[in-house]
Structure 1
Amino acid sequence: MGSSHLLLCVLLWSFCLIALGSTEHNIVVVPTSSFASESTCFSSLSHVPSDPSRASVPLVHRQGPCAPSGSSIVKPSFQEMLRRDARRNHIISKAVGLTTTLSDASVSIPTALGNAVDSLEYVVTLGIGTPAVEQTVLIDTGSDLSWVQCQPCISTECYPQKDPLFDPRKSSTYGTISCQSGECKNLNRTGYHGDCTDDNVCRFSIGPYGDGSNTSGVYSTDTLTLAPGITIRNFSFGCGHDQQGENDKYDGLLGLGGAPESLVSQTAERYGRAFSYCLPPGNGTAGFLSLGASSNNTAGFVFTPMHQFAPGVSTFYMVNLSGISVEGKQVDIPPEIFSKGMIVDSGSIVTQLPKTAYLALQSAFRSAMSAYPLLPPNEDGLDTCYNFTGHSNITVPKVSLMFSGGATIDLDVPSGVMVEDCLAFDGDSSDNVLFGVLGNVNQRTFEVLYDSGRGNIGFRPEPAEA
């Protein structure tokens, strides 16, 4: 038992990262091929061993070869994916709304970058209903309510998705939630608009997002299958019958926030309100999503305290950034610039910093990359992008993030520092922001552990080479 558990830890750790390039001091020399999308999935990384103390499933990029096969629709451009992400991601509007209205043991799941469903976010494949119907859903730590598109849903009310629509009429364990239930009443408190129908069925609504799109339908329960033999009975989720606006080809969303509707809260007695994930560095590798945390295996993690976004708001996981370094030198940023905190969000792509912090990082990074032509700012706000044409190798500076409590993480180069030849950071219009956002690019190759019970977030990089 002990040896098999050790083997599992080694496999999961190595599963979390394939190192790229060679490292010297505070720069990393990487081949330009490492910036390109992979066309082959590393099948040896797509299997997550079973662990009786944790529930795990594979996690993959939405558009990579590791993702379940999708349609042959032409993939959108990088700029279009960023625009869709910005329009769909309602973390800021939800946080602002909640601020004003609320002032008064484990399983592993494979994860992947979502190329198969036209996004730079990450997906897992789960089963819903009895018999279980596979659904490929985004993982989102900035949302609580999980949902999938459901039958009946005509083409004008639902967007095209990768898998067949879930049909609740064919599930023997499906049920609806009544309007009088505490679960329904709680939807209004957490911003999901619980309404009543004429037949006493609770309805949910999410949005509108920045582009006016929204998702609404029936608040329901059914059996959720995380992995063979690992099920969550009476899992509450949204059965969406009406989706409006532009969307990608994913089937729905898995909410990993801290509010009562989330998967984390619904499985709290079983997995202790703890979960972790490893976001793979590119399209051709797989990671994992695990529910639960080992009580005695924290080797390699660095921890920073988790704190509450606002009184009564439990959705978001917040930490305090204390500094940034480039090439081993701390960037000159006044500490008070980071006083509002950072939301750690798997559903955002690039990291959003206060204006002063971003401009200081931008200056240091551009100085270190002065050998390469700088491209004009793109229309989506990324203003530190490069033309690497004619270069077989690129020298990229190391970037490190420092958090309160002494935790420092060295971002993977290039996958955790740059995305599509651009610095994976952006700046707000001022320093007077409610919070910053730590996006998923910076989190790549780390196992990120959210442990609400212990009140901290941990980051564990690849194991050191022997």
Structure 2
Amino acid sequence: MLLFLFLGCCYSIVHAGDDEKGFVVVPTSSFQPETVCSTARVNLEQNHSTVSVPLVHRHGPWAPWQSTDWPSFREMLRRNRARSSTITSRASRGAASARDDKKVVIPSHIGDAVDSLEYVVTVGLGTPAVRQTVLLDTGSDVSWVQCAPCGAGECSSQKDPLFDPSRSSTYRPMPCSSGACRDLGAYGNGCTNGTDDDRCRFAILYEDGTVTGGVYSSDKLTLTSVDTVGNFLFGCAHDERPSGKYDGLLALGRLPMSLVSQASSQYRGAFSYCLPAVNSRSGFLALGVRMRSDTTGFALTPLGTSPLQAPFYVVTMTGIAVGGKQLVGLRLSAFAGGMIIDSGKVVTALPSTAYRALRTAFRKAMAPYPLVPNGHLDTCYNLTGHKNVTVPKVALTFSGGATINLDVPNGILVEGCLVFEDSGGDGSVAVLGNVNQRNFEVLYDTSHSKVGFGPIHAEMM
């Protein structure tokens, strides 16, 4: 039996010369302590509108619903692979379009991406506000909720009431002639039928044949009792979608349709989050955070600005350390495809040379523990019978010198498996998964083209 390591320990943003030991002894009899990320800790500008809402794991005990149908580890990895294929396909298509000097087209097929998403927030929609529990996704373009009326077999069951646009005094459908409808691009689905009805339609297709589609609309989004976003654009879905207790999806990507872009005048295109582990208390999603010149406590790296990278947040990775030692022989060309930071993918994908070097060093450091087959991940350990396990620290370095130590073992191991995989050949697109991001405050500041990683357990340095 694989032992699911829950114990977490404090990490810190590291600099050259720090942390010479490079290993952490983990008691296997302990569970991970509750993540301390109940509030954003980023420096805020004075007189700047900010808001923070709780964020929880949808399969954890703090989810808005009680559920026993947690996906198995194998199923989680299957969904992770589907999302990974989708992300790399979209990113590679953008790169190919750039090489061919053709217009970039964002495909509407996004695979099984929704089922792989793990974190939810609760917001209000309409006037009066109707509670909606929505998935959080930094890799999505269009926000949507399931709407009434919805015929039998067209909608999936959900915990909260369906959003009924006829009961909202601030709701309005977008006409086909509107700029908002044109901005949908590949997600547009023409207009509704009827001579007196030109409502804009949207559609998002999934690989299993289901679809999220309906009327592209506008209404008031309520984040807290005093924080709202007026004329928020979203999809009012009436068609079949993947099953789940959630009510919809909140898109935090970089395209004009996302919440980040829509509310940029209010929150200046900046947000941060802390992603808790499955069994931890809530984390947070904060909008409106913005970095001052004083960014003490955050490891900062430039954010890619090419429109070919939309809707993703792309940074450049430059190195990896295992057990306090830098992996040698890794050329920067191996990371030329960039690294997408993704809230929905579980396992981090690295280019082949980088992954093989990491795997070799990690296996050498974990040599006292027997490897066991898994079928999806190739570096898994049977830790049964060990009271303590010595785990090497893993540090990732990004352009600009930003270096972070991943949480040990919660940010490195899941069910005894190293949470990294091969994304393909050198120069392929890498993806930073959410396990590596746990217990960080991850900051996205599009106005300054920066991404920051800040400590949650450790004090600001």
Asked if TM exceeds 0.5, the reply is yes
Q: Which moved more, 1:418-427 or 1:253-262?
A: 418-427
> 2:236 corresponds to which residue?
239
Write the distance in 1 (CA, Å) between the matches of 2:217 and 2:460.
48
In structure 1, runs of 5+ residues without a counterpart are: 1-16, 105-116
Structure 1 segment 33-182 matched on structure 2, within 5 A: 33=29, 53-70=49-66, 72-87=67-82, 90-99=86-95, 103-104=102-103, 121-182=118-179
Q: In structure 1, what is the Cα distance between the partners aligned to 2:30 and 2:162?
A: 36
Q: Contact between 2:336 and 2:427, CA under 8 Å: does it hold in 1?
A: no
Farther off after superposition, 454-463 or 88-97: 88-97
Superposition map of 1:371-410 within 5 A = 371-378=368-375, 381-410=376-405
Deviation readout 1:171-226 (Å, 9 max, x if unpaired): 222111010111111111xx3134212210111112334x4443111111111111
For residue 303 of structure 1, what is the amino acid of its counterpart? Answer: L
Structure 2 counterpart of 1:335: 332
**In the alignment, which of 280, 283, 293 is matched to residue 279 of structure 2?**
283
> What secondary structure, in the 3-state scheme, does the structure 1 residue paired with 2:183 have?
helix
Q: Does 1:348 align with 2:342?
A: no
**What is the distance in 2 between the residues matched to 1:247 and 1:28?**
40
Deviation (angstroms), 1:448: 0.9
Q: 1:69 to 1:46 in 2, by over 3 A?
A: farther
Deviates more, 1:92-101 or 1:358-367: 92-101
Q: Is the 8 A contact 1:150 1:166 kept in 2?
A: yes
SS of 2:401 mapped into structure 1: coil
Q: What secondary structure is seen at the aligned counterpart in 1 of 2:239?
A: strand
Q: Helix, strand or coil for the counterpart of 2:58?
A: strand
Query: Counterpart of 1:64 in structure 2: which amino acid?
Result: G
CA 1:143/1:465 → structure 2, altered by over 3 Å: closer, same or farther? closer
1:8 maps to what in 2? none
Are the equivalent residues in 2 in contact too, given 1:323–1:403 (CA < 8 A)? yes
> What SS does the aligned partner of 2:304 have?
coil
Residue 206 of structure 1: aligned partner: 204
CA distance 1:302–1:48, shift in 2 (3 Å): closer
- 2:444 maps to 1:450: yes
Percent of residue pairs identical: 55
CA deviation map 1:14-33 (0-9, x unaligned): xxx97469x99211122325
Partner of 1:113: none
8 A Cα contact 1:372 1:388, kept in partner: yes
Give the letter for the 1:289 counterpart.
L
Superposed CA offset, 1:104-130 (max 9, x none): 4xxxxxxxxxxxx98662111111112
Q: Deviations over 1:240-288 (max 9, x none)?
A: 11134x4433221111111100000001111111111111244222211
SS of the residue corresponding to residue 357 of structure 1 reads: helix
In structure 2, distance between residues paired with 1:239 and 1:271? 24
- Aligned with 2:281: secondary structure? coil
Using the size of structure 1 for normalisation, the TM-score is 0.83
- Contact 2:40/2:441 (<8 A) preserved: no
CA contact (8 A) 2:37 2:274 kept: no
Distance 1:276 1:226 in 2: 15
Distance 1:165 1:31, change over 3 A: farther
Q: What amino acid is aligned across from residue 269 of structure 1 in structure 2? A: S
Secondary structure at 1:264 match in 2: helix
| Contact preservation (8 Å) 1:147, 1:237 | yes
Q: Which has the higher mean CA deviation after the structures are superposed, 143-152 or 295-304?
A: 295-304
Larger mean Cα displacement after TM superposition, 363-372 or 400-409: 363-372
Deviation, 1:78, is: 1.7
The alignment partner of 1:431 has SS state of coil
Residues 53, 294 of structure 1: 8 Å contact kept: no
- Counterpart in 1 of 2:111? none
Indicate how the Cα distance of structure 1 residues 46 and 69 shifts in structure 2: closer, same or farther if over 3 A, else same: farther
Q: For 2:61, what is the secondary structure of its paired residue?
A: coil
Residues 118, 135 of structure 2: 8 Å contact kept? yes
Other structure's SS at 1:131 match: coil
CA distance in 2, matches of 1:249, 1:404: 40
Distance between the aligned counterparts of 2:62 and 2:284, measured in 1?
12
Structure 2 CA distance for aligned equivalents of residues 320 and 45 of structure 1: 26
Moved more, 75-84 or 440-449: 75-84
2:310 counterpart of 1:314: yes
Q: 1:271 to 1:444 in 2, by over 3 A?
A: same
TM-score (norm 2): 0.84
How many angstroms apart in 2 are the aligned matches of 1:354 and 1:35? Answer: 32
Structure 1 residue identity aligned to 2:188: H
The answer to whether the Cα contact below 8 Å between 2:83 and 2:116 also exists between their aligned partners in 1 is: no
RMSD, aligned α-carbons: 2.9
Displacement, 1:155?
4.7
1: CA distance, partners of 2:383 / 2:8:
23
Deviation for aligned residue 1:359:
1.0
Q: Call closer, same or farther: CA 1:416–1:18 in 2, change over 3 Å.
A: closer
Q: Which of 262, 269, 273 is the equivalent residue of 2:265?
A: 269
- The 3 A distance-change label for structure 1 pair 66 and 138 is same
Structure 2: stretches of 5+ with no match in the other structure: 1-6, 12-18, 104-113
Rate the CA distance shift 1:236–1:139 in 2: closer, same or farther, 3 A.
same
Q: What per-residue deviation string (whole Å, max 9, x for no partner) do you get for residues 372-427 of structure 1?
A: 2211132xx31111222222322211000000101000001111112222111110
Question: Secondary structure at the residue paired with 2:142?
Answer: coil
Query: Is the 2:202–2:214 contact (alpha carbons within 8 Å) kept by the matching residues of 1?
Result: yes
Match of residue 459 from structure 1: 453
* Corresponding position: 1:224 with 2:221: yes
CA 48–338 in structure 1, closer or farther in 2 if over 3 Å, else same: closer
Residue 425 in 1 paired to residue 420 in 2? Answer: yes
Shift, 1:34, TM fit:
5.2
Corresponding residue SS for 2:358: helix
